[in-house]
Every structure is written in structure tokens, then in C-alpha cells.
Amino acid sequence: MVSLNINPVVCRNNIAPPSQFLSHQFGAMAGHIGLVASEYCYKKDEEIFGEDEPAEYVYQVITGAVRSYKLLSDGRRQIGAFYLPGEVFALESSSAHRLAAETIVDTTVRLVKPSSLERLASLNVEIAHSLWAMTAFELEHAENHMLLLGRKSAMKRIANFLLEMDARLASAGVMTLPMCRRDIGDYLGLTLETVSRALSQLEAQGVLGFSGARQNRATESPVSAKD
Amino acid sequence: MVSLNINPVVCRNNIAPPSQFLSHQFGAMAGHIGLVASEYCYKKDEEIFGEDEPAEYVYQVITGAVRSYKLLSDGRRQIGAFYLPGEVFALESSSAHRLAAETIVDTTVRLVKPSSLERLASLNVEIAHSLWAMTAFELEHAENHMLLLGRKSAMKRIANFLLEMDARLASAGVMTLPMCRRDIGDYLGLTLETVSRALSQLEAQGVLGFSGARQNRATESPVSAKD
DNA sequence: CGTAGAATTGAACACTCTCAATTAGCGTGG
DNA sequence: CCACGCTAATTGAGAGTGTTCAATTCTACG
């Protein structure tokens, strides 16, 4: 767990924030008659479900953070997404999960049965469209991420990551990243050493500062992470 | 345009074929009362729509091939997907295209207005679920592709690509790839030179052969592209 | 205070990219 | 029908970015 200060000026960016609209709709859905929503607490680094497991639940993060990922036979890992408070994951239109999911820190989730959602969707066109839109939103994220993984330099990837996270969990120019360097590397297609070096370089350039681990401070070079 | 022979033995793989089921459903939808479906022909390398353009149509490839892509400001390109006969693209749940699309060769497409689909979806739950499932299928592809782009070597990417294409357009151990080396590179996050070298190496190893351009022949080393 | 895990930093290496030259295939027009 | 020219593909050599392996430092936590 590392806290990180980023100057607000640095953080104005062109990365779309997550659709809180959809998350709110999900919360609203959970209030519908007959939709069973329970809560569950996981410890840090606990598996929520494995790759290709049957999809028993759809999840919404209440507190904490989650990573979804795929593994290669040699143990290399690609993290597909991080899920932060309010965000929904494991929403499948089919019956199995395509990625595994683990908690990054102690995490509380809200659980809903897919069958409940499907029933609601069959009764209410708006809900059906919302489910579709949530999947489309994940697809959009994946498409942006393919561009990052296929065509951007290590430093661009890091900058992109910081701006993405800033848009999702920053307040007052400070954000606390729940994930470790290895997680960031596995999300960005880099090694943890490369991530560390890039962050050190940004700190040396005065673009950001750390608090919590390593002392630091925010600075204010206007940075553009266009592309 | 390059023809490519791959021995059938080589091609038994674990890559899921595209959901022809969904494509057929799309075709069926086009037969519904009131669903306007027209056809249109594009020349090779013609733009169908640009990134962020309003989504006027949903498309199904009848003949030919299409690439969807995003561009970086320095001109680097990431191809998100190739679309082959029968396959549907540009199905958005929102009002804009997230990637641009161009033809790779002369191409005929079937066009449907999104509003028609939405209307059908509002009347028929099955259709609504199909649209969602088609987006989920694209998401699954993108997730697999993120793993490829983030964590696989050049040779693994090429092998993966060949197996993917084989599953989609091969017959009798031969397939004709409509796209050039640069397209393949931009799809796999590689340069065209790296693609060429990898293909040459596979040919030298007797894994595949070319016909059309460069003479050749298929061979039969059993190859596993696991991961 | 001592230990364990995470992060940082360094140095050498490897894989892929870049730049460049050559070759092959194909369409066009003489 | 052949020569020409254009584009795509191949191949080579060198450079660069990120990885790998290793040592050290830092922080949290018991």
C-alpha cells in the first residue's frame, strides 16, 4: 500500500472516468423487489473466483480493491482490470468467468445472482440495456488497454495508469494506490522493476511525490499524457 | 494477399472459433419485419467510419475483410480486430464508434440501423440478450488479446494469430490471409519486420508453407501453441 | 528491535525495433 | 509478350528499450 500525491494540475486529463452512472444503476437494481443482494468480506489476496469457473455471482466492490487476471502456463500474469469501490465486476452474459479475480486488500463486496439480473432484464428493457452498456464499457476499457499494451512505451503506460487511477480514486491531488508494483506491472505488461524505475524518474522530475512509503511531496509541472 | 498452407494436424487448437451462432442470429434478425437491412460495397483500403464518429450503422461482412483500429498521435496504430465474412462489427451500446474501421480488400457489407436493433431488442428479450452476448464475445476476444499483447513473445503472438485465423477461415489446411504484414504487426503489437521474420522461421522449421506469393507446401510437425 | 516482504537500484543481457538494402510479385503499358 | 515500375515482403546489421538477475534499502509489523 503506497500513498501517492499528485498535483491537481497534473491530473487534468482526457481519460474518461468510470461510469458511476452504471454503478449507481446497479445499486438501484439491487433495491428492486426480489433481487437478492448480500454482502461478503474477503481478506487481502484472497481468490474470489478462478478462470473458467461457473459464474455464480455478479459483484460490486463496496470497500477495498480487486484485480482480475489471466495466467500463462509459465506463471506470467496479465491483469485485465482493477475494480475499486462502487465498481461492478464479473458481469458475464454467459455462464462462466473469463478471468480470475482476487482481492488486493481486505475487501467487502455486494453479491447478486446473475439469474436475478436476467429476470429483471427480461421484465425491464432499461435494465437489459444497462447490463449491455456495462459490458460495452468494459470492452471500451479493454480496447484502450490493447492500444496501451501494443503500442505505448513504458513511461507512457505508467503515465496513463496514474491518470486512470487518479480519475478513479483521487481526492485533493492525493491518491492511495492499493496495488503493489508487481500488480501494476502485470496490468501494464511490464516488470515490477520497470514500474519502479519509471515512478522514480517521475519523482525525480518533480511530477509526483510519495507519502506513506518514502517521503515526498506533490509538485506542479503541467504534464500531458496525451496518447 | 498471401495464401498460406498449414497442415491440418498443426491446426487443431484450443482457440475458440467465432460465434457463428451469433452471426446467424444477426442474419435472422435482419429478416425480421421492419428491420431495414441494405448492402454496400467498399473498395480495398476504404474507410468505413472513423474513431469517435456517430454510430449510424451496424455492419455484417458479407465478402471481404475489415480491420478496426485506434491511432496514436505519432501515427502508430493498434488494430483491435479483424472481421471476416459472416462476422458483425460496429455494434455499440452507445451512440459512437470507439474504433475506426477500414476495408482490407474489396468488401461487401450488410447494414442495419442501430435504432432498428434497439427497437427489436425492446420487443424481444432473446434479441436483447443476443446483442449483449455479441458485445460480451468481443470483450472476451479483447481480454485474450490483452494477455497476448502484454505477456507473449513475438513468436507466440504469431502462432496465436495463425491459429486464430485458421479457426476462422481455413478449409482443408489452407487459408488465404487477406491482410498484409503491417496489418498483422499492428494487430499483434509488433513491427512488420518481426512478423516477416517469425513467418520465415516457421517456414524454415517446416511448420507452414506459402502459396501464391513465394512457393511452398504444407508440412506436418505437430505444433502446440498453448499459451 | 528484529524479521519479512516490498521497493529501489545497478549492471549485463536479450528481444524487438529501426534503418537500410535487396528481392519478389504484380499490374500497366509499350 | 516483355519491360518497367510500384508495392509488399524479406533479410541484414546495429541500436535501444525493457528484462533479468542480483544486491541493497526501506517499511510495516510482530
pLDDT tens profile A61-115: 999 999 999 999 999 999 999 999 999 999 999 999 999 999 999 999 999 999 9
Q: Indicate if CB(A210) is under 7 A from strand C.
A: yes
Nucleotides on chain D within 7 angstroms of protein Cβ: 8-13, 17-22, 26-28
| A200: closest CA of chain B, how far (Å) | 22
SS3 B37: strand
Å: B213 CA to D3 C1': 21
Q: Is-contact B53 B94, C-beta < 8 A?
A: no
Q: How far apart are CA A188 and CA B149, in angstroms?
A: 10
Q: From the candidates A14, A73, A144, A151, which should be mutated to test the interface with B, based on the most B CB atoms within 10 A?
A: A151
Distances from the Cα of B181 to the Cα of A120, A148, B196, B211, angstroms: 47, 21, 7, 16
Task: Single out the residue of A179, A157, A167 nearest to residue A11, CA to CA.
Answer: A167
Rounded distance between C-alpha atoms, residue B13 and residue B16, angstroms: 8
**Taking CB atoms and an 8 Å cutoff, what residues of chain B touch A136?**
92-94, 135
Rounded to 10 deg, the angle between the A125-151 and A154-169 helix axes is: 150
CB A116 within 8 A of CB A36: yes
CB atoms within 10 A of CB B153: 10
Half-sphere exposure at residue B14, Cβ-oriented, CA atoms within 13 angstroms = 6
**Which residue in this structure is represented by grid cell 451469433?**
B22
Please list the pLDDT of chain B residue by residue as tens digits (227 residues).
Answer: 555 554 333 333 334 344 454 555 565 565 555 677 899 999 999 999 999 999 999 999 999 999 999 999 999 999 999 999 999 999 999 999 999 999 999 999 999 999 999 999 999 999 999 999 999 999 999 999 999 999 999 999 999 999 999 999 877 788 889 999 999 999 999 999 999 999 999 999 999 988 864 433 333 344 555 67
CA–CA min distance A107, chain B (Å)? 24
The answer to whether the beta carbons of residues A42 and A101 sit under 8 Å apart is no
- Please indicate whether, in this complex, the C-beta atoms of B73 and A226 are within 8 angstroms of each other: yes
Summarize pLDDT for A180-223 with one digit per residue, the tens: 999 999 999 999 999 999 999 999 999 999 886 443 333 334 45
Predicted TM-score of the model (pTM):
0.89
* Cα angle A3, A169, A217; round to 5: 35
> For residue B14, what pLDDT is reported?
38
List the grid coordinates of A37. 443482494
Which nucleotides on strand C sit less than 7 A from a protein beta carbon? 6-11, 15-20, 24-26
Give percent above pLDDT 90 in chain A.
72
Collect all residues of chain A within an 8 Å Cβ-Cβ radius of residue B151: 72, 76-78, 189
